[in-house]
Structures are given as structure tokens and as C-alpha cells.
Chains A and B, each alone.
Chain A
Amino acid sequence: MSVQSSSATPPAESGRYTDAQWSFAEFWRRWGSWFITIINLTCFFILWELFARSGAISPLFLPTASGMFETLYNGLTTTAPPGSVISGSILDHLGYSMMTLFTGLAIACVIGIPAGLLMGGNRAVETILSPYIWALASLPRIALVPLFILFMGFTVKMQITIIVLSAVFPIIINAWAGVKTTEKSLLSAARVFGAGKWDLYRKVVFPYTLPFIISGIQQGIGRGLIGVVIAEIFGGSRGLGYLIQRAADTFNSSLMYAVLMLLVIVSLSLINFTRWLEAYVAPWRRLDRV
């Protein structure tokens, strides 16, 4: 804090980076898109509200925006009294759906990551497994739902199976691609410095593949969420999918839209979280892409 030292020799960091002058242009460049997005969304909901209130469409099909938000707020701030069989609260169903989703995702990771790594690392495993992987990955998973209902009935097990099948293939395929595309020069560098086969996997292939695996999980979350909703719509007595089905059956449009809105929010937050995670574990890739 002494005046002499700071005036004689400026601190090291001030040489290279100086704070930009505040200006509206600078402020706008940084925050402008946020500002526009907020205005944009506000206008969207106001137009929706006005349109719904005008009575052009029956409230059975289109609720008012305010009605939807109210249902959403109430649904998320209340829980069912203990002992009740079916809860009208969105929060309970959200919790249930998330639990099945994350259980399914966890199982998909436990199966998918080693499977993908093995397929990338071993030609025999790759040759044997790849026709099944491609066949199942290209099959629309909804087509399997009736089969699983036949096998397991309307159970949590059935729902989790569908989520696992939805999420596991992007994880396998990404991990596999990660191993396959590991830079040759990194491998030969490690070999020159004495890496054995195990070291190559542990210290080169796996760290290189990690961001691929995370982006596989990111795709898996998207697919898994579809899996959850489908499984619950087809057969279930709990969860967001069930709530949509029930809202439709009872012509409760504001509940239906509230759940759809919630699905958008959940999906976007999960995907943004994995994006952040990917950038966090592999900052070099983020720079490559820019």
C-alpha cells in the first residue's frame, strides 16, 4: 500500500492487462444478449397471456401463462400429506422422476463407460459387440416399451430399464470414439518415456477420453429424460410423465403446461451442468472449439 513503491514500479500484473474503460458499448457487448433474452421471454409470456384471455382457444387446451406459473409454483411448494397414495403435488412427482432418471443414468454409466473403453481398446471386443451396439442404438427405444411392459409389468424396474437403454448407447459410442481418436503422438510420447500398456490407458487414453464420456453422458441425459417420460406415460402411477397423462385425462391444462415447462427447465439445467463439467475437466477442448 505504500505510495512510493507503487509509483516507482507498477505491479507486475498491471503491465499486461489493464481494466477496460466503462462504456455503454462494452456493457452492451457483454450483457446485451441477456437483456434481449429477458425482454424476449417476457414479451412471449405476455402475448400468451393476452391470447389465452382473448378466448380464441378454449382454456381446456391452452391455459393462461399466469395460471400455468401459479400451478407450477403451488405444485413445487407443497408436498402430499404423509400416507396419501397419489400426490397432486408436482414436487413429489418431480422427485420420483429424478430418482428413476438418476438411477438409470448411474447404471448406464456403470455399463456404458467400461464397455466403450473396452471396445475402443480391444479389437476382438469391438468386432463382437459393434453390430449389437449399432443395431440397438439405431432402434427407436419406444418400440421396446411394450416388450418391457410384457416382461416386467408397470414397475420401476421397467422404467429404469428403458432409461438405461436410452442413455447407455450415447455413452458407449462416445467413450469408444474417445479411445479411438486418442492422439497418436501422445501415445508415442508416453511409450518413448516408458509407459506400459496399463500406463497408456491410465495416463493417456482415459484422461483423453474423459471429456468424450461427459459429452456422452450429456446426450444420455437428454435421451434418458425422454425415456423417463415415455415410461411413465405408458405405465406408471407416479412421476412427471404420469402427471402429464393425468392432467390430459382431467382436462387440467394449466397442470399439463406447468409440467412441460418444468421438463424444459430440468432438461436445460442438466445439459448446461454437463457442458460446464466438460469445459471444467477439459479446458483445452473448449479453447480448440472457439
Chain B
Amino acid sequence: MALAKTLSAAEPGAHSAAAQPVIVANNLTIGYSLHRERKLLTALKNITLTVNKGEFVVLVGPSGCGKTTFINAIAGIVQPWEGTVEVNGQPVTGPGPDRAMVFQDYALMPWRTVESNIRMPFELKNLGLSKQEMDERVHRYLKLVDLNGFEKSFPYELSGGMKQRVGIARALVTEPDILLADEPFAAIDAMTREAMQSELERFVTQTRQTVVFITHSIDEAVMLGDRVVVISYRPGQIKEIVPVNLPRPRFDYDVKALPEYGELREHIWRLVKDEALQAARGGK
């Protein structure tokens, strides 16, 4: 069913004129071995999903449904048990400069300044850029996320929203094709979160990046996604893929006032509700 939905759903999104697959997950099954209990836990089962260039795909599902595992598999820090993930036609064997990630807890190095944190990907991976090009990029992205003036600050001196801006700049600085985001705004207060969502929409519209974004918030999913992938609880399977055909930039159009917005929200909530209840009860 999931596969059929993927194929039948028209590929929406303002900037995906020619549908060109960037991420292809084929029958992906991933799990972990729990050493203490001598058991194998299947986190994700038979995930088949194609993400096209420039598309913004949001994954929603209850805690523990394997969303993070999926995104880690795309990033290349988790290896699948079965099936494959391909990025730009190449099977993923490890992390690469074509992918970058934004983390829920920011994951900024506390001993590095804002500038040095943003520069870190360059130190870890040689992209063949000159020192000038790297400096130029660091400052361009510092400016994009509105952090000029805070170059020399340390993360502990910043608010949550500012820390995540650093996280976003660090992810964008290598200009990856794919931006992976693991609940990036979950720990940020509601007002700042809304501002950050609209800015993220602005950034990726500018950079034309492909985004895979995890969230627990249905509103966030509908506001940001071109498609919303609903994942079921343990083992995570695709329950339904919901296309979101709302005009962009959504924060300017005030799409929340549109009747379609309410319908989509309602529809996704009905899909997620049972799963969330199950997760809240702690599984079967």
C-alpha cells in the first residue's frame, strides 16, 4: 500500500519540476541487538520510499517508531539489516559530504565558538576548498541564520533557538544535497519554534535542498512538508504518505487559515492517534 501511494501521489512542491530521485530506500529493515536481553529489536521494517530532488519530506510517528533510525541510515551512521538506501544512485556505505544533519539537542561542541562549530565540517572532510572559500562560506551561512555578531560566542551563552541556528548553519555550510533534520525544533519554545520553521522554509527554498525532517508535531509536518510520511509504531512501517499541496512560502500565505490545512491536520492526526496511544501504553 505504501509503495502504491508513493507511486500514485503526484510529486508536489514548488521546486521539483522534474522529479529526480535523490534518496531511494528499498525494502529497508533495520534493528539493534540488545546485549543485555540477548534479543534483536527491529526498529524499521520494509521501508520503501523515494525522495525527489528539492522535496521536503516530513516523517511523523510516535516515539520509538524508528524515524531516527531511518534518518541515521540515510546519513550512513547505521547500517541496514536488509534492503538498501541509495543516495544519488549510490548505495550508502558511510557518511558523506552530500548529506548533513541537524540534531534535536543541537550537538554543538561546547568548547568551540559559534564560528568554529560551523567550520567543523570542513576540518573533518576535505572538500577541496581554499581557505578563503571556507571563510567566505562560514560567514555567508552565519549571516543566513542571523548570527553575525555572535561568531566568538560559545554555545552555552546562546538561547536554544540560537543554538539551533548554529546547528543549521553547520549543516548548510558544506552545501549538501540533502539536509536531514531529527526533531530540530522539539526542544525550542513554541514562539521561537514557529519563527525557526518559517526561516528553515526560507533557507531551503534558497538553497533548493532536499530535506528529510522528523517531527512529533502534526502542525509542523503540515506547515513544512511537501509530503508527510506517517510511520507506525514498532516495528516502524510506512502507514500512509500524505501529499501536502499548500502554497509556499506557507508562513507568508497564512495557510493555517485554509480549510485544506485543517483537513490535512485532521487526516494525519487520525492516522497517528492509534499509533501514539500504542506507544504511550508501551507497545503491544
Chain A residues engaging chain B, CB cutoff 8 angstroms: 183, 185-186, 188-195, 199, 203-204, 207-208, 210, 281-284, 287-288
Contact = CB atoms under 8 A, between A and B. Distances in A.
Contacts of B111: 207-208, 210, 281-282, 284
Given A203-B120, A203-B124, A192 B109 contact: no
B123 interface: yes
A204 B109 CA distance: 8
B77 A194 contact: no
A190 B72 CA distance: 13
Interface residues of B, dominant DSSP: loop
A194 B95 contact: yes
B124 A195 contact: yes
B12 interface: no
B101 interface: yes
Given A185-B103, A190-B124, 20 more contacts: A185-B105, A186-B109, A188-B72, A189-B103, A192-B99, A192-B101, A192-B180, A193-B95, A193-B121, A193-B124, A193-B170, A199-B123, A199-B124, A204-B109, A210-B111, A281-B111, A283-B154, A283-B156, A284-B110, A287-B156
Contacts of A207: 109, 111
Interface residues of A, dominant DSSP: helix
15 contacts: A185-B103, A186-B109, A188-B103, A188-B107, A192-B76, A192-B95, A192-B100, A193-B100, A194-B95, A194-B124, A194-B125, A199-B123, A199-B124, A204-B109, A287-B156
A194 B107 contact: no
A194 B121 CA distance: 7
A277 to B, nearest CB: 14
Nearest to B71: A192
Contacts of A199: 123-124
A262 to B, nearest CB: 36
Contacts of B99: 192
Given A188-B72, A194-B125, A207-B109, A284 B95 contact: no
Contacts of A283: 154, 156
A204 B117 CA distance: 12
A187 to B, nearest CB: 9
Interface string B75-116: 111000000000000000001110111011101111100000
Interface in B143-199: 154-156, 170, 174, 180
Contacts of A194: 95-97, 121, 124-125
A288 B97 CA distance: 33
Among A194, A203, A284, the one with the most B-chain Cβ atoms within 10 Å of its Cβ is: A194
A12 B120 CA distance: 31
A186 B104 CA distance: 11
A281 B174 CA distance: 29
Contacts of A204: 109
Nearest to B72: A188
A284 B157 CA distance: 9
Contacts of B105: 185
Contacts of B77: 188, 191-192
A195 B122 CA distance: 10
Nearest to B112: A207
Nearest to B121: A193
Interface in B199-255: none
**10 nearest A-B pairs in the assembled complex, by CB-CB distance:** A194-B125, A189-B107, A284-B110, A284-B156, A185-B107, A193-B121, A194-B124, A192-B101, A195-B124, A207-B111
Contacts of B180: 192
Contact of A203 (B72, B95, B123): B123
A204 B110 CA distance: 10
Nearest to A188: B77
Contacts of B108: 189
B155 A284 contact: yes
A119 B104 CA distance: 30
A37 to B, nearest CB: 30
B92 to A, nearest CB: 12
A188 B97 CA distance: 15
A245 B110 CA distance: 49
Among B76, B100, B107, the one with the most A-chain Cβ atoms within 10 Å of its Cβ is: B107
B30 to A, nearest CB: 15
